[in-house]
Structure 1
Amino acid sequence: MNRSLASGIFSVVSAKIVVLIVTAVSTPLLYRFLGASAYGDYAVLLSVFAIYMIFVSSGITDGVRKYLAEDRSVANWQEHVVGFYLRLAIWLAAIGILVMVAATEFGYVSVAFGEERAVYFYILAILVVTAQFRDYARKTLMGFGLERYSEPLKILDKVGFVVVAIPLTYVGFGVVGALLGHIVASALVAVVGLALVHSRISLLSVFSTPTERFPRTQMLTFNSMSIVLVFLLMSLYHVDILMLQQFRESSDVGNYRAALQIAEFLWFVPLALQTVFVHSTSELWSRNRTREITDLASRTTRYTFLLTGVMAVGLAALADVAIPLYFGAEAEPAIDPLLLLLPGALGFALARPVLAVSQGNGTLRYPVAATGVAAGVNVVLNVLLIPSYGMHGAAIATSIGYGSMFVLHCWSARQVGFDPLADARLARATLATILTAVPIFALTATISNPWLALLVVPPVGFVLYLGFALLVGALDLTEPLEILSAFPDPVGSSASTLQTRLAGLESGPPRNWFQLLLVGAGLSLFASGLAVGVLGIDAPVVLP
């Protein structure tokens, strides 16, 4: 992994960690201030808005960052790309706000979502404009490779929302207060972001006329396919919520949304990789560096499995503890849906970077086909299961739909021209996960204090997982240091020095799978027994 790509990932991951922390603090407050029912209405509105914005902005945001990252011989290439997509953003935002207002005025919104929710769509119409230019500005900066600017804007967006929405919902403005928080935050980010873009390329380029060599048709085709792809992806996120609100009360929708938000914690690093890989791999594809792309994609698949696998095990072990503490006792019904969602969320986490590399190629028919099959499976299963099983049926259907994404996008990747499984070592990573699950569940069962469990289990589980991953060969000894060496100093230089010193330790006899399994199982049981002995001999031990 080169340093420029790593620095981009570092910027995105750092921002996502900050956003994750802010979200982790603000979400239970928002849930409590709104209540389960109003929080369910809020979740439905955000789902509708997210699907609506696919047609307003998704082609623009994917296109501007892909084509800005490419090195074309066309004169004033970047200026024309910025102007082309800014013109599209303006026109589509105008059409978007007019359509939403008209749909509300003529009663279509009331028929679809109820009279009591119709007033919210006037507020969402304003959000169409602010969100459009917020996303255009951020993705344009990413296309320039300026993640050091685009990612702090994401933090500004989240903090701005919290600063406005939390006080408004606390004093009784309810869902309106939460939506106003989104409007104020996105408007602020749009102003700052457009100013940063203007400092790089004048926004007056919106009036420039590209030459005949400018690939308008190719770009519009990519935009259209991006809209289809994003629509199918967003259906995976939101179909379950929209269907659930038709068959169950708003409180069930709110609790199911709470379970989804916890499960989505698995995605913060894969989302960062997906965000960076679209424009970063576009350059590699343009130079036909297929072998490097395969190496990058397969190692990323392995690292993603290792990271999200241990997180999924930890969330499953701590679900009974974390949900009531995080959202309150009212959210206890969210525990079972969370457990059902975790396997699929892990599969979707693995699929995200693979999809991003395929998008970087620009040939979207295979990713669209793969996502379409997964979306179809998701819709059919939700239709079959939600009427009878409510949010448990939604969780099962969505988990299967999520999980199928990884299998289908591995097929898609091979059609595009790279292999995300070349060095994925999925069997070894799975073995490391199983071996670690035993002591993690045992450790959780021995600690009666919920706060102590949340404090102790995650770091201990991570250390155990790292050890098992190295033992079974899912991770090579120097690979963690190799990753860190690509990051800015002093972390990069220190890791590089240590990596060189440890490189010779990896040579040795090949690993024997049966011996590794026996040793790993023995160490896993020993760790479980140690946890019970140290933290609570009398506590019951529940093994998975």
Structure 2
Amino acid sequence: MIESRRFVSDVMITFIASLVNIIISFPISVVIGRYLGVEDLGAYRLVFSIYGLSLLFANAGIPAAVIKQISEIKEDPKSTVKVISSSFFTSSLLGIFFLIFYLLFAETLSNIFGTPELADLIRIISLSFPFSVTGSTMLATLNGFRDMKKHATAILIQSVLMLFFTILSITFGYGVNGAVGASVISSIGYCVYLLRYLGKYIKIINFSDAVHYSKSMITFGLQTVVANAVNLINFQADTIMVGYFLTKTDVGFYSVAVLLAKLLWLIPDSIQKITYPLISEHYNNSGTEYINRAIETIMKYTMCISIVIGSGMIFYGEGIITSIYGASFIESVNPYYILIVGTMIFSIVKCVNSLFASIGRVDLFAKIPTYSAAVNILLNLVLIPIYHINGAAIATSTSLLIYVLVMIYYMKKLVNIHINVIWYSKAIFLFAMLIIINYILSLFTPFNSSGILTVSLGCLLLWIYILEPSDRVFFLSLVTKLKSLSLN
């Protein structure tokens, strides 16, 4: 099951690719923040928040539908060609439509935020739509095939191109416009790479087949759009509302806190990319017993990893922010601390966030985040005018907690997932104790030493008091398996 060689291999590939992607793409915000200033960084992050929300609707949920369908029919070559071909042509049309729409209405969108200079940035980023939408669909195809090596390579190509052309454009004085333009070039590059491998599946098919498969995917996909849109509200609404209530400078400070806090999701995101097609593939054959064992184990181990990494991110947060972005970004520190708590808690379910979509309950995939989004918007409306960017962080972290509680409720109710409340309570208590211990140690030891000592102590306490004997056996076998994979 979870210990299967392929699962471990796929997660390793996805995680390493995501880590390298972060290492490559992270300097972009640093370069913009240091050389263009916090105001331009705020404009850059704001336009990408708008673009990310728009891309969600432009995709029409087709990538999620493609992953599910490909994972279920990949042994049938004819049906596979029909699904891939119809999804490609439908995505191309949607991308062109959104390109035209944003070219026409860029001024209107920029006026909503009271920032007329956003209009040019929106026009530039709109050129990405045809390539980003079709690229997302092709990337989903690789995920459905579970061809994670090519999947990882495509993402890395996009990141390398984006970093290279961002630095190049800023060097030659094109400023934030050039930085946004770099995204367009990177989208074209990775789209061309994907076509190289998937072009053999894209053929002219019977019109009735194209309509049938496109309709099926859009019907399923539009249901996931609602869920993904609500999810995006949780992850982007705070930035957009900070831009609405406050200033571009505040957006710049807050975006740094968000960007760094979301690094904690690197491992859960890597796991989720594998669990979605995996559960879709095995649900009908293996039933809920297989899924229960897999999800219970994945959630527990993700929590353990998040405690260790999250603690270290808190202990060294201020030093990381001021070292990378400069002392002028000190205002990012407090919202960063608040967001780390929320992202750590959400990691528990993020690793299996596509569970209900995998088993065909797309209605729940949409319904669950709605409660969280409602809380998020309401709290942002109340807290941002009072507490500024700290209020946005409190609102988002609270909404993520609501998301976790609601999802666990439905997991227990419908899939009979067992949640060991005592185990999770002990884990959360350990996290709180580590914060206190680090604070006490920092009073008597050098700053760097206290963080290292506390994280080491946390690992030891996790191993002795939190993990059960069977968990220790699993982790030891996992280390052995990872060594064998690295040697191969």
TM over 0.5, shorter chain: yes
The question of whether the paired residues in 2 share the 8 Å contact of 1:264 and 1:345 is answered with yes
Show structure 1 runs of 5+ residues with no match. 494-544
Separation in 1 of the partners of 2:51 and 2:365?
24
The question of whether the paired residues in 2 share the 8 Å contact of 1:298 and 1:424 is answered with no
Match of 2:175 in 1: 174
Shift of 1:5: 1.9
1:202 and 2:216 aligned: no
Correspondence for 1:81 among 76, 83, 106: 83
Separation in 2 of the partners of 1:174 and 1:457?
41
Match of 1:70 in 2: 72
The question of whether the paired residues in 2 share the 8 Å contact of 1:298 and 1:419 is answered with yes
The question of whether the paired residues in 2 share the 8 Å contact of 1:298 and 1:422 is answered with no
Cα distance per residue 1:193-218 (max 9 Å; x no partner): 111112xx4312x5345659966654
Match of 2:370 in 1: 372
Q: Aligned in 2, Cα 1:365/1:283: closer, same or farther, shift over 3 Å?
A: same
1:132-211 aligned at under 5 Å gives the runs 132-198=133-199, 201-204=200-203, 206-209=204-207
**Aligned with 1:433: secondary structure?**
helix
Q: Aligned in 2, Cα 1:424/1:274: closer, same or farther, shift over 3 Å?
A: farther
Shift of 1:148: 0.8
- Percent of aligned pairs with the same amino acid: 19
- Range 140-149 or range 210-219, more displaced: 210-219
1:473 and 2:459 aligned: no
Q: Aligned in 2, Cα 1:419/1:373: closer, same or farther, shift over 3 Å?
A: same
Separation in 1 of the partners of 2:459 and 2:167?
38
1:494-509 aligned at under 5 Å gives the runs none
Match of 2:387 in 1: 389
Separation in 1 of the partners of 2:47 and 2:412?
37
Match of 2:305 in 1: 307
The question of whether the paired residues in 1 share the 8 Å contact of 2:86 and 2:210 is answered with no
The question of whether the paired residues in 2 share the 8 Å contact of 1:44 and 1:241 is answered with yes
Q: Which amino acid aligns with 2:108?
A: Y
Separation in 1 of the partners of 2:423 and 2:213?
40
Shift of 1:384: 1.0
Shift of 1:83: 1.3
The question of whether the paired residues in 2 share the 8 Å contact of 1:153 and 1:189 is answered with yes
Shift of 1:422: 5.6
Cα distance per residue 1:40-96 (max 9 Å; x no partner): 011110000000011111512111111101147877221111012112111111111
Q: TM-score, normalised by structure 2?
A: 0.92
Q: Which amino acid aligns with 2:371?
A: V
**Aligned with 1:425: secondary structure?**
helix
Separation in 1 of the partners of 2:210 and 2:88?
19
Q: Which amino acid aligns with 1:189?
A: Y
Q: Which amino acid aligns with 1:86?
A: F
Q: Aligned in 2, Cα 1:58/1:175: closer, same or farther, shift over 3 Å?
A: farther
The question of whether the paired residues in 1 share the 8 Å contact of 2:32 and 2:176 is answered with no
Q: Which amino acid aligns with 2:5?
A: R
Separation in 2 of the partners of 1:403 and 1:417?
21
Separation in 2 of the partners of 1:263 and 1:311?
11
Q: Which amino acid aligns with 2:178?
A: G
Separation in 2 of the partners of 1:175 and 1:26?
11
Q: Which amino acid aligns with 2:48?
A: L
Separation in 1 of the partners of 2:242 and 2:100?
29
The question of whether the paired residues in 2 share the 8 Å contact of 1:484 and 1:491 is answered with no
Show structure 2 runs of 5+ residues with no match. none
The question of whether the paired residues in 2 share the 8 Å contact of 1:314 and 1:457 is answered with no
The question of whether the paired residues in 2 share the 8 Å contact of 1:284 and 1:290 is answered with no
1:49 and 2:51 aligned: yes
Q: TM-score, normalised by structure 1?
A: 0.83
Shift of 1:424: 9.1
Shift of 1:433: 2.7
Separation in 2 of the partners of 1:136 and 1:488?
34
Q: Aligned in 2, Cα 1:72/1:36: closer, same or farther, shift over 3 Å?
A: closer
Q: Which amino acid aligns with 1:116?
A: E
Shift of 1:415: 4.3
Shift of 1:15: 0.4
Separation in 2 of the partners of 1:283 and 1:423?
30
Cα distance per residue 1:197-242 (max 9 Å; x no partner): 12xx4312x5345659966654332111111111001111111111
Separation in 2 of the partners of 1:216 and 1:117?
34
Q: Which amino acid aligns with 2:87?
A: Y
Query: Rg larger in 1 or in 2?
Result: 1
The question of whether the paired residues in 1 share the 8 Å contact of 2:46 and 2:243 is answered with yes
Match of 2:108 in 1: 108
Match of 1:35 in 2: 37
Shift of 1:32: 0.8
Match of 1:429 in 2: 427
Shift of 1:147: 0.5
1:310-349 aligned at under 5 Å gives the runs 310-349=308-347
Shift of 1:401: 1.0
Separation in 2 of the partners of 1:173 and 1:444?
44
Q: Aligned in 2, Cα 1:380/1:296: closer, same or farther, shift over 3 Å?
A: same
Shift of 1:20: 2.1
Separation in 2 of the partners of 1:168 and 1:13?
30
Q: Which amino acid aligns with 2:476?
A: L
Q: Aligned in 2, Cα 1:242/1:80: closer, same or farther, shift over 3 Å?
A: same
Shift of 1:441: 3.7
**Aligned with 2:168: secondary structure?**
helix
Separation in 1 of the partners of 2:214 and 2:94?
17
Separation in 2 of the partners of 1:458 and 1:16?
25
Separation in 2 of the partners of 1:75 and 1:152?
24
The question of whether the paired residues in 2 share the 8 Å contact of 1:347 and 1:405 is answered with no
Separation in 1 of the partners of 2:235 and 2:339?
12
Q: Which amino acid aligns with 1:108?
A: T
Shift of 1:388: 2.0
Separation in 1 of the partners of 2:74 and 2:201?
19
Q: Aligned in 2, Cα 1:4/1:214: closer, same or farther, shift over 3 Å?
A: farther
Separation in 1 of the partners of 2:56 and 2:302?
27
